[in-house]
Structure 1
Amino acid sequence: MKIAIAQLNYQVGNLDFNSQKIINTILTAKNQGVDLVIFSELSICGYIPYDLLNYNFFIDDCYKKLEEIKLQCTNIAAIVGLPTKNLKNTGKKLYNSAAFLYDGEIQKVIHKTLIPNFDIINEDKYFKENQDFSIINFKNKKIALTIAEDLWDEEKIHGFFENKIMFKNAPMEYLNKFNPDFIVNIAAQPFAYNQTDCKKDFIYKNAKKYSIPIININQVGANTELIYEGASIVVDKTGNTIISSNRFKEDLKIFEFDEITNTSQTNNHNRNSDDKYESIYSALILGIKDFFEKSNLKKAVVGLSGGLDSAVVVALLVNALGKENVDVLLLPTKYSSQHSIDDSLEMVKRCGIKHHIVDIEELRKMYLKTMEKVFENTKEDITEENIQARIRGSVLMAYSNKFGNILLNTSNKSEAAVGYSTMYGDMNGALAVIGDLYKSEVYELADYINQNFNNMIPQNIIDKIPSAELRPNQKDSDSLPDYEILDKILFLYIEQNLSEEEIIKKGLPQEIVHRIIRLVNSSEFKRFQMPPVLKISRKSFGDGRKMPLVGRF
């Protein structure tokens, strides 16, 4: 049996585009003598369509596309993902399903058993869990078809409850009773640099546990904040990788079934742990590209301050969209240092991008003059600093409105965590490109970019002491601890869900820990209005971390 795994980039809700892509791939595979071609989870509608799933017409349209696709399945079989209706009167209205197509007909429909409800994935809102188990018989082989978490039944909860297993059931325990010849697992698993290998470990472990080859097909592409790396794999019954698909690219891998039944003696697990910043860079590039292409957008604009964050975002945009599609504005006041302006101009030169210098000092003075009587008998404070950030935000949005360039946000995760940003100022933007990177990680990413892309970022920008330059001689360290300490505290609190006392026991200063946690908790109102964040870690802001907006904790 010749098998193809089709790792494709879908558009959420674009049923015509997705179904045509599936049909074209089926025809390509058929021309190469493939017997079975496998597509990823919810491939017809894209993952995940959220509340589009509440519309009856949308579900009907998905099924109509399946009817069109099945007609192409003559002399070839296909496995395709889509939402289907629960025809019973109990439970959720839908199933997350996979259809097995052959001889121009829908031969079988398998439903997902383990429905996730964690972090940014809330399938439980829409889908009913499967309770009936069966296998697919095809060309004298028995196929156990699973969907995503169905194969990750031993996944554990992170943080304080990490000894708890997330799911109660193990679908493979039921499917294994049918003595399948191999397992197919179709998935749409969002990328997280600190989670990718964990998912693969479940595949290796289950292959060894049940002594069955596993074919895993994962979606590739980005849908708003969610990025999918692909990296589909085929492993033999000993858990060794036989086939690996590209990461962050579409791919079609074709192989003979016999290739995965011959047991390998090598210990090939194809891990990605050593490539953290290569993976993060590739993920962000894909996230930017798909955000623009799938939204039918072309050009971007960024405020280039001479600081690290905006420089890294500009470098990513240039590499993702092309230098001709990236404009930058330099927006100095009297507090902007000459070296920041010079460093920004050097960045412009290295990237070959269009730029404008818009001096906002007169605007700053006009704001203060306008508010002079209102602010009478008060001291200058953060209010006057924030006015500068808001002027910059307004000017950037004016440029965006006039020329159609989409403004991108440049805030990092450390700033977002402690509220070191200005609402309606530097928080403006359609997408937070590096909003899931702590400041210390931004430095590492900058080094990776310079090592691999001809020193796009001037070294002065990387080496200088971080400053918002909103008052004389200002430094980030005036308001925050060193980023090395700050980011450790933030990681333990946000990603590991540790308490203040537990973090202090890790050897971090009590006073600083207390202040940082207070800042994180009191800044939720700002994060509530952040643009969507490209997710590259296990725990990102936005839907990935929902905290009370009005609360006391």
Structure 2
Amino acid sequence: MKIALAQINPTVGDFTGNTKKILEFAARAAEQQAEFVIFPELAICGYPPADFLEKKAFVDRAAQAAEELAAWTSAPGRPALLVGSVMAVDSAIGKRVRNVAVLLAEGRATFVQQKMLLPFYDVFDEQRYFEPATSQSLVSLNGQPLAITICEDAWNDKDFWPRQLYPVDPVDALMQQWQTEAEQLDRYPRLIVNISASPFNQGKPAVRQKMLAAIAARHNAFVVMVNQVGGNDGLVFDGSSLVLDPTGTVVARGACFAEDLVVVNVPHTSAAAPLGCDEIAEVWQALVLGTRDYIRKCGFSKALIGLSGGIDSALVAAIAVEALGAENVVGIGMPSEYSSLGSIEDARYLARNLGIRFELLPIHDVFAQFQKTLEPLFAGTSFGLAEENLQSRIRGTLLMALSNKFGALVLTTGNKSEMSVGYCTLYGDMVGALAVIGDVYKTRVYQLSRYANREREVIPRNTIEKPPSAELRPDQKDTDSLPPYEVLDPILEAYVERFLSAEQIAKKQGIDPALVRSVLKLVEQSEYKRQQAAPVLKVTQKSFGTGRRFPIAVKVQV
């Protein structure tokens, strides 16, 4: 069978645009004589639709779009389509909707497979919305039997995972059905199809491939997985669709972080090229795609960035330029009396390297006026955190004024290390529409900055080499308030992402337990800030946002 993997980038709620895109990819596949075109999970409505699923009009519109797609297949010679969608539940008991894969052929829906395993961990909350399938069955297309699954349905292989999350394995159940009918079905190659909306995090594409390879080898089957690509809010989907043969060898592969149409004959024997980029390159591409899609899917085209001359804002600017083009990025320098001349020049140099517009708005006079206004109440107190944060909040106000005036979204520049310990200012440097590197630890900021300079110097050498500083008071350095990032980041990763205790972290890393506890106390005290932060592009297993849910008013013993 000639199969097309249609790896598309849908937008949540854009039924017209998504349907048009599906038909465009289907027509391209038909031109290549594909018999069967496979699209990602919930391709019709976009993933994740969240509480839009509570709206009847949303579900009805998905049904209308499916009918339109079915009608396209009625013309002679057109391929069948497998499309992810949402459908209303007929029963009066249980959830109102179901997550389905709909097989469209000869002008109608010939088969519907309902998702059985509904993830409810990290960023997933599917049990909130969907009614799980109670059973699944094989279906035949042009004589070829198909075992159709949806994303999580393939993520419960007892031979691959040390702990199963669910009591059933839909893939195993479908293959048992195949075995029962082996006398009739084994004339055909075993074919497992999985439509997915599997979000990216560091290293996940490689894990996903290994898992699917294990399924292929275990069941002596070809596995076809079609994954969504693109950014939707804080989630980034990498695509990386795959076809694997019964030995677990990849015989066809979709692009990473880009739409793609891959047409392949199954059975197929030629091995595909290996993954073409390392983990740093993957994270870079994810941040670029997530930034581009967030801004454009929100109806904007331009971005504003406060350029301090530091490495964080430099990295965000470099990502924004690759995502949007230099003509759509504006850098704003806002020096105070504590900003070094070197930092101002570093910001200018960066803007020249990137080819972006750069404007300087000194805040000395504004800061002085604020201090004068506050003087009667601040009298008798020393310069401290209030004055430092005031500078940051002035900058945030200026950026938002420019955003409102010129219709450009502000990108925040705080990294994950800072967000973890609260080394950031509410209504100041946290102001903005998207936290581009809010899931990137400071040590990884340096790695990504060197990656940005892989072909030429984009981020100035001095920006990378100088000690990091907020420059909010004389001779300030980050290490005045925090441990060196080489010490801090491993503590944060262990606590935020792996939930280790202070004692476990101190023992594993050979660090003073008192230092560890002081860091963890900062993490817990800063939850109120994080819950007011801009959406964060997720690139690690546990980012700040919907996938990490903690109360604010707590008393935690660390």
- TM-score normalised by the shorter chain: which range applies? over 0.9
State yes or no: 1:451 paired with 2:454. yes
Q: Please give the alpha-carbon distance, in whole angstroms, between the structure 2 residues aligned to 1:496 and 1:269.
A: 33
Q: Please give the alpha-carbon distance, in whole angstroms, between the structure 1 residues aligned to 2:537 and 2:105.
A: 38
- 1:391/1:425 contact within 8 Å kept: yes
Q: Deviations over 1:483-506 (max 9, x none)?
A: 001000000001111011111111
Q: Please give the alpha-carbon distance, in whole angstroms, between the structure 2 residues aligned to 1:347 and 1:106.
A: 55
Corresponding residue SS for 1:400: helix
State yes or no: 1:234 paired with 2:243. yes
- 2:222/2:267 contact within 8 Å kept: no
Cα 1:54–1:34 shift into 2, 3 Å: same
Q: Please give the alpha-carbon distance, in whole angstroms, between the structure 2 residues aligned to 1:520 and 1:548.
A: 13
- 1:156/1:164 contact within 8 Å kept: no
The amino acid that maps onto 1:346 is Y
- 1:194/1:538 contact within 8 Å kept: no
Q: Please give the alpha-carbon distance, in whole angstroms, between the structure 2 residues aligned to 1:488 and 1:429.
A: 28
User: Percent identity at matched positions?
Assistant: 41
Corresponding residue SS for 1:371: helix
Q: Please give the alpha-carbon distance, in whole angstroms, between the structure 1 residues aligned to 2:555 and 2:107.
A: 59
Q: How far is 1:194 from its partner? A: 3.0
Q: How far is 1:155 from its partner? A: 8.2
Give ranges in structure 1 of 5+ residues lacking alignment. none
Residue among 80, 85, 105 paired with 2:108: 105
Residue among 488, 491, 497 paired with 1:489: 491
Q: Please give the alpha-carbon distance, in whole angstroms, between the structure 1 residues aligned to 2:248 and 2:158.
A: 18
Residue among 246, 253, 275 paired with 2:262: 253
- 2:205/2:240 contact within 8 Å kept: no
Corresponding residue SS for 1:258: coil
Corresponding residue SS for 2:482: coil
Corresponding residue SS for 1:143: strand
Corresponding residue SS for 1:191: coil
Q: Deviations over 1:436-495 (max 9, x none)?
A: 10000000000000013x211100000000000000110000000000010000000011
Residue 379 of structure 2 is matched in structure 1 by 376
Q: Please give the alpha-carbon distance, in whole angstroms, between the structure 1 residues aligned to 2:418 and 2:439.
A: 10
- 1:27/1:72 contact within 8 Å kept: no
The amino acid that maps onto 2:461 is Q
Residue 166 of structure 2 is matched in structure 1 by 167
Q: Please give the alpha-carbon distance, in whole angstroms, between the structure 1 residues aligned to 2:239 and 2:66.
A: 23
Aligned CA-pair RMSD:
1.6
The amino acid that maps onto 2:58 is F
Q: Please give the alpha-carbon distance, in whole angstroms, between the structure 2 residues aligned to 1:427 and 1:298.
A: 21
Corresponding residue SS for 2:134: coil
State yes or no: 1:547 paired with 2:523. no
- 1:217/1:233 contact within 8 Å kept: yes
Q: How far is 1:207 from its partner? A: 0.5
Corresponding residue SS for 1:486: helix
Residue 397 of structure 1 is matched in structure 2 by 400
- 2:7/2:227 contact within 8 Å kept: yes
Q: Please give the alpha-carbon distance, in whole angstroms, between the structure 2 residues aligned to 1:544 and 1:510.
A: 28
Q: Please give the alpha-carbon distance, in whole angstroms, between the structure 1 residues aligned to 2:464 and 2:448.
A: 11
Q: Please give the alpha-carbon distance, in whole angstroms, between the structure 2 residues aligned to 1:251 and 1:360.
A: 47
Residue 202 of structure 2 is matched in structure 1 by 193
Q: Please give the alpha-carbon distance, in whole angstroms, between the structure 1 residues aligned to 2:62 and 2:37.
A: 19
Q: What TM-score does the superposition give when structure 1 sets the normalisation length?
A: 0.96
1:497-508 aligned within 5 A: 497-506=499-508, 507-508=510-511
Residue 356 of structure 2 is matched in structure 1 by 353
Q: What TM-score does the superposition give when structure 2 sets the normalisation length?
A: 0.95
- 1:240/1:269 contact within 8 Å kept: no
Q: How far is 1:90 from its partner? A: 2.2
- 1:26/1:73 contact within 8 Å kept: no
Q: Please give the alpha-carbon distance, in whole angstroms, between the structure 2 residues aligned to 1:510 and 1:251.
A: 50
Q: Please give the alpha-carbon distance, in whole angstroms, between the structure 1 residues aligned to 2:106 and 2:468.
A: 64
1:359-370 aligned within 5 A: 359-370=362-373
Q: Which has the larger displacement, 85-94 or 428-437? A: 85-94
Aligned residues: 542
Corresponding residue SS for 1:465: coil
Q: Please give the alpha-carbon distance, in whole angstroms, between the structure 1 residues aligned to 2:547 and 2:275.
A: 25
The amino acid that maps onto 2:341 is Q
The amino acid that maps onto 1:19 is T
Residue 293 of structure 2 is matched in structure 1 by 290
Q: How far is 1:89 from its partner? A: 2.4
Corresponding residue SS for 2:378: coil
Cα 1:340–1:156 shift into 2, 3 Å: farther
Q: Please give the alpha-carbon distance, in whole angstroms, between the structure 2 residues aligned to 1:7 and 1:223.
A: 15
Q: Please give the alpha-carbon distance, in whole angstroms, between the structure 2 residues aligned to 1:123 and 1:95.
A: 10
Give ranges in structure 2 of 5+ residues lacking alignment. 179-184
Q: How far is 1:404 from its partner? A: 1.4
Q: How far is 1:545 from its partner? A: 0.8
Cα 1:456–1:340 shift into 2, 3 Å: same
Residue 69 of structure 2 is matched in structure 1 by 69
Q: How far is 1:290 from its partner? A: 0.9
The amino acid that maps onto 2:42 is L
Q: How far is 1:269 from its partner? A: 9.2
Q: How far is 1:332 from its partner? A: 0.8
Q: Please give the alpha-carbon distance, in whole angstroms, between the structure 2 residues aligned to 1:517 and 1:271.
A: 37
- 1:119/1:539 contact within 8 Å kept: yes
Residue among 81, 84, 88 paired with 1:81: 84
The amino acid that maps onto 1:472 is P
- 2:236/2:289 contact within 8 Å kept: yes
